[in-house]
Amino acid sequence: MTVCAATNNPGKLRELRRILERLGYTVKSLRELGIDLDPAETGATFAENAALKAAAFCAACGLPTVADDSGLCVAALGGAPGVYSARYAGTHGDDAANNRKLLAAMAAVPAGQRGASFVSAVCFRLPDGRALAVSGSCPGSIAFGETGHNGFGYDPLFVPDAVGVPGSEKTLPNTARRSYAELADAEKDAISHRGRALAKLAEELPAFLNRPQEGSIG
Ligand code: IMP
């Protein structure tokens, strides 16, 4: 199946593409589809924003569309930055400023109280209006400084509790306390919020597609 990966975030697009392609989908980016659209993320939850983006991009491209709304929820900050993760420091998508602000907000928080979780809400939308919503999360903690250069966003500050083992279903405790940005792609995808949400999507999609449409006979 060919799907539109509905994001303007290059880091997220790379991940959506590699995970969805591994799961057997053909992926088209917004750029490949000639779509220049930036729907306002006015929802109060990740799921609302994912649904809103999936609907807007699906209407624009006419293809089955996968949208992800995601973010980092830090316990010591009452769940912030949460749905505001992309614009935590004010400017949408300024990763460096967001990371600086997060480190400053966490400066006085001791090890042991730096728990956080990454959350991804994914909405798969068909041009006929049917939609399937799934989500995934990844528990971890916030480091005291940035490490690693892979990935995007808060990756250099987020230390997941476990890491994936490439070529296997297994995960291992992250005893070396490597950040998301220090993991190989396959190590991150196996345990990441987005990897987990998309694995759930692939699992639930066949039954969703076979379900009779409302109003159809049989
Ligand atoms: P949105 O889903 O477009 O609202 O943006 C999500 C924001 O959360 C991104 O801009 C990043 O700051 C952050 N984010 C989401 N997923 C990840 C990830 O896998 N690594 C690092 N940051 C992420």
Q: Give the CATH number for residue 129.
A: 3.90.950.10
Q: Does 72 map to a domain?
A: yes
Residue-by-residue pLDDT tens, the chain, 218 positions: 999 999 999 999 999 999 999 989 999 999 999 999 999 999 999 999 999 999 999 999 999 999 999 999 999 999 999 999 999 999 999 999 999 999 999 999 999 999 999 999 999 999 999 999 999 999 999 999 999 999 999 999 999 999 999 888 899 999 999 999 999 999 999 999 999 999 999 999 999 999 877 654 54
CA atoms of 68 and 71, how far apart (whole Å): 10
Q: Are strands 131-142 and 158-160 parallel, antiparallel or unpaired?
A: antiparallel
Q: Does 215 map to a domain?
A: no
Q: Does 216 map to a domain?
A: no
Q: Ligand 1 site: residues with CB under 6 angstroms? A: 9, 41, 69-71, 85-86, 93, 95, 98, 151-155, 180, 192, 194
pTM (2 decimals)?
0.96
Number of domains in the chain: 1
Q: Does 122 map to a domain?
A: yes
Please give the distance, rounded to the nearest whole angstrom, from the Cα atom of residue 211 to the centre of ligand 1.
32
Please give the distance, rounded to the nearest whole angstrom, from the Cα atom of residue 154 to the centre of ligand 1.
7
Q: Does 218 map to a domain?
A: no
DSSP state of 81: B
Cβ contacts of 151 within 8 Å, gap of 6 or more? 11, 180, 181, 183, 188
Domain span at 189: 2-210
Helix or strand or coil: residue 66? strand
Q: Does 135 map to a domain?
A: yes
Known active-site residue 185: no
C-alpha dihedral, 172 to 176 to 182 to 186, nearest 10°: -10
Q: Does 52 map to a domain?
A: yes
